[in-house]
Structure 1
Amino acid sequence: MKKEIIQTADAPAAIGPYSQAIKVNGVLYSSGQIAINPNSGLLEIDDIDLETKRVMLNLKAVLKAAGLEFSDVVKVSIFLKNMDDFDRVNQVYATFFTENYPARETVQVAKLPRDVNVEISIVAFAA
């Protein structure tokens, strides 16, 4: 079993003792991404639509660094600060997938890192 650390400057650096993602036997496990702009290091949380888009762009960068795409994603976990944002998050999220949607859960949580509104993690596999 080979464990590969995935790291890219095109996504925010980890803000703790963890990796952006780990790839094991062709399966990618990402850490949760929040809306940190990797270029500026600033949070983009003023609007839930833009915040969700930034999170998805960060995940896209991690996927790319691992040689994968959103079509390779098999599982998504979405953590929301407020379930009232579900529809708006879902609309932005859907623009990154075209068919064969991954399995997913969305849960409301009491608090997220840096007091963001949404955090998303993924599992991907290239056949």
Structure 2
Amino acid sequence: MATSKKKNPVKKTAKKTVKKTAKKATKKAAKKSPAKPAAALGPYTPVVRAGDWVIVSGQLGVAEGKIVAGGVAKQTAQAVVNLKAQLKSAGCTIHDVKKTLCFLTDMDTFATFNAAYVAGFDGSRPARSTIGVASLPFGGAVEIEAWAFKPLR
């Protein structure tokens, strides 16, 4: 007896809602984009060049010195805005990123995180690892580290 797979309309609607929320959060965060990259929140260098590589330390969803309210979508959108500011300070764009390492405190929010991440990366699809962690600094839910390749010549 053949069975047909029907798509779950509730699941499909939920996916659309997640994508809409992520896009909205990304646009809102981009409007508040910092003119210059934020200072490091600890004893580390936020961005460093090593030859043709630019390495950006993990960026949290921080604006004006605090984790942004509103959950994973908004924190991811802000983390991407912060990442773009750090990249810009080193002469790079999001399209130069070749690898990201992402940390989530709740892997159940992966779909929401993923939608906001995709919206923020402007069509770029670098290699990526996403790891679930127990906690992040300042109570953040998301952190994004990046490696960009931008030849000096």
TM tier relative to shorter chain: 0.7 to 0.9
CA deviation profile, 1:12-41 (whole Å, cap 9, x unmatched): 21121101111011201111011111xx22
Deviation at 1:66, TM superposition (A): 0.8
Structure 1 unaligned segments of length 5 or more: list them: 1-7
Deviation at 1:11, TM superposition (A): 2.7
Q: Which residue is 2:149 aligned to?
A: 125
1:35 paired to 2:61: yes
**1:15–1:9 Cα change, 3 Å:** farther
8 Å contact 1:21–1:62 — kept in the other structure? yes
Q: For this pair of structures, how many residues does the alignment match?
A: 118
CA deviation profile, 1:48-95 (whole Å, cap 9, x unmatched): 111110000000001111111111000000000000111111111111
Q: Provide the C-alpha distance between the structure 2 equivalents of 1:98 and 1:41, rounded to a whole number of angstroms.
A: 26
Identity of aligned residues (%): 36
Deviation at 1:99, TM superposition (A): 4.5
Q: Which residue is 2:31 aligned to?
A: none
8 Å contact 2:106–2:141 — kept in the other structure? yes
Partner amino acid, structure 1, of 2:80? M
Q: Provide the C-alpha distance between the structure 1 equivalents of 2:80 and 2:135, rounded to a whole number of angstroms.
A: 20
1:45 paired to 2:69: yes
Q: Provide the C-alpha distance between the structure 1 equivalents of 2:75 and 2:90, rounded to a whole number of angstroms.
A: 23
Structure 2 length-normalised TM: 0.72
8 Å contact 2:76–2:142 — kept in the other structure? yes
Q: Provide the C-alpha distance between the structure 2 equivalents of 1:33 and 1:90, rounded to a whole number of angstroms.
A: 16
Structure 2 unaligned segments of length 5 or more: list them: 1-33
Partner amino acid, structure 1, of 2:66? L
1:68 paired to 2:92: yes
Higher helix share: 2
Q: Which residue is 1:11 aligned to?
A: 37
Q: Which residue is 1:3 aligned to?
A: none
Q: Choose 1 or 2 for highest CA Rg.
A: 2
Q: Provide the C-alpha distance between the structure 1 equivalents of 2:78 and 2:93, rounded to a whole number of angstroms.
A: 16
Q: Provide the C-alpha distance between the structure 1 equivalents of 2:35 and 2:121, rounded to a whole number of angstroms.
A: 23
Structure 1 length-normalised TM: 0.85
Secondary structure in structure 1 of the residue aligned to 2:60: coil
